[in-house]
Every structure is written in structure tokens, then in C-alpha cells.
């Protein structure tokens, strides 16, 4: 059962600006280095355990990837690991960039 919410780039931007959220970028480190959402944390196999231990589980968590597919799996994973308010950005970073340019 899906425990997270899918939101579009506009909703994600409003959520990020309205309250303290944790933003997770699950793309590869090279893509993260090239460009990412301000305040996003790069999370992958190399640091997932540390992230699960240290990240506040009571704050909203916004996940994104390249196009919004992998982040749904990640969002489900985070939901199953104690995060209560989890979101996946539809369209991923690609959509975020298009929306941010408007």
C-alpha cells in the first residue's frame, strides 16, 4: 500500500517554502553535484543507513529523482522506515527545473 503522496513541482515548491522540510535527492552524486534543489541532501547506497538514523522522521520529507519514477520507490521506502509525512515529486528534477524557470 502506498504511504506517500505524489505532488507536482509547484506543490513541492510551496511545501518547501512553507515549512521546514527534509529534501532528498536520490539521483547519482554526479547529477547532484551538477545541480540540485537548494537544501537537498544527496542520499544513496553509500549513506542511506546514516540518513535513516539521523534525519528527523517527524518533519515532512520531499524526495526527487530524475523524472519522478525512482523517487516513488524511495518515498515508499522512507515511509516504511518511520517517516510520517513523505512526498515524491512527479516529473522529478526535470519538472522542478522547468517550473522554477517560470
**CB-count burial class (<10 Å; 0-12, 13-18, 19+) for 5:** middle
- pLDDT tens for 47-101 read 999 999 999 999 999 999 999 999 999 999 999 999 999 999 999 999 999 877 6
Question: Which entry of 37, 65, 74, 75 is annotated as an active-site residue?
Answer: 65
63 a catalytic residue:
no
Identify the band that residue 33 occupies on the pLDDT scale cut at 50, 70 and 90. Answer: very high
User: Which strands sit side by side in the sheet containing 41-42, from one edge to the other?
Assistant: 5-7, 86-89, 61-64, 22-25, 41-42
Q: Mind listing the domains of the chain with CATH numbers?
A: 5-30+39-100 (3.40.250.10)
Q: What is the pTM of this model?
A: 0.93
**CB-count burial class (<10 Å; 0-12, 13-18, 19+) for 38:** exposed
Amino acid at each position: 500500500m502506498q504511504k506517500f503522496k505524489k505532488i507536482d513541482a509547484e506543490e513541492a515548491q510551496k511545501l518547501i517554502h512553507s515549512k521546514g522540510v527534509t529534501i532528498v535527492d536520490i539521483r547519482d552524486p554526479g547529477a547532484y553535484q551538477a545541480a540540485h534543489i537548494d537544501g537537498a541532501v544527496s542520499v544513496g547506497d553509500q549513506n542511506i543507513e546514516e540518513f535513516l538514523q539521523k534525519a528527523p522522521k517527524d518533519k515532512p520529507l520531499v524526495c526527487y529523482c530524475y523524472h519522478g519514477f525512482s523517487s516513488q520507490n524511495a518515498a515508499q521506502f522512507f515511509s516504511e522506515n518511520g517517516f510520517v509525512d513523505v512526498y515524491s515529486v512527479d516529473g522529478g528534477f526535470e519538472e522542478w527545473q522547468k517550473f522554477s524557470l517560470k
